[in-house]
C-alpha cells in the first residue's frame, strides 16, 4: 500500500523561517509536496486561491496576528488542516477546539499520523 501522504500538496503557514524549513523537511521526508511557506495571513490566503492544496499545517500565531481567517478559508473549501502552536490546546477559541493541534516542538511521528488521518477520508474526524 502506498502512503496516503505521497505526492500530497501540503500548505505550510509559519512565520518563523527556520521552523518553516524544519516543517518543509519533515513533510518532504513524509513524501509530501510542500506549498509555501506562507508567513502572513494574506500570503496564505493568496496561496489558497492560486494553488491546489490537499492539506495544511497552520501556525496559530503569525507574528502577533492570529491565523483564524486562514482556518476559516480552509474549512470553507473543505481542505483539512492541523494547527501548530506552542500554546496549550485549551487556549484556542471554542469554535476551533475541534480541529487537531500539533504541539511545538514537532514530533515527526505525530505529524505523519495526523496528516495521514486528515488525508484518509474514512478516518477523518476520528
Q: Closest CB to another protein among 16 and 68?
A: 16
65 binds another protein (CB under 8 A): no
Three cell numbers at 125?
Answer: 474526524
The one among 51, 63, 72, 86 contacting another protein by CB under 8 A = 86
Nearest to 35 by CA among 20, 15, 51: 51
Identify whether the C-beta of residue 11 lies closer than 8 Å to the C-beta of residue 41: no
Identify whether the C-beta of residue 118 lies closer than 8 Å to the C-beta of residue 124: yes
Q: Closest CB to another protein among 96 and 106?
A: 106
Q: What is the DSSP letter of 14?
A: -
91 binds another protein (CB under 8 A): yes
The one among 19, 56, 74, 111 contacting another protein by CB under 8 A = 19
CB atoms within 10 A of CB 49: 8
Grid cell 500548505 is found at 11
Kindly identify the residues of this chain, within the stretch 39-58, that bind another protein according to CB under 8 A. Answer: none
The one among 18, 50, 52, 76 contacting another protein by CB under 8 A = 18
Residues that bind another protein (CB under 8 A): 16, 18-19, 21-22, 25, 61, 85-88, 91, 103-109
Amino acid at each position: 500500500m502506498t502512503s496516503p501522504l505521497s505526492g500530497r500538496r501540503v500548505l505550510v503557514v509559519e512565520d518563523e523561517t527556520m521552523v518553516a524549513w524544519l516543517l518543509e523537511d519533515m513533510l518532504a521526508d513524509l513524501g509530501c509536496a510542500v506549498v509555501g511557506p506562507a508567513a502572513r495571513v494574506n500570503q496564505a490566503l493568496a496561496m489558497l486561491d492560486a494553488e491546489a492544496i490537499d492539506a495544511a499545517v497552520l501556525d496559530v500565531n503569525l507574528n502577533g496576528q492570529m491565523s483564524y481567517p486562514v482556518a476559516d478559508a480552509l474549512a470553507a473549501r473543505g481542505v483539512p488542516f492541523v494547527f501548530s502552536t506552542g500554546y496549550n490546546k485549551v487556549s484556542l477559541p471554542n469554535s476551533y477546539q475541534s480541529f487537531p493541534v500539533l504541539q511545538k516542538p514537532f514530533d515527526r511521528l505525530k505529524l505523519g499520523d495526523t496528516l495521514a488521518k486528515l488525508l484518509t477520508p474514512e478516518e477523518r474526524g476520528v
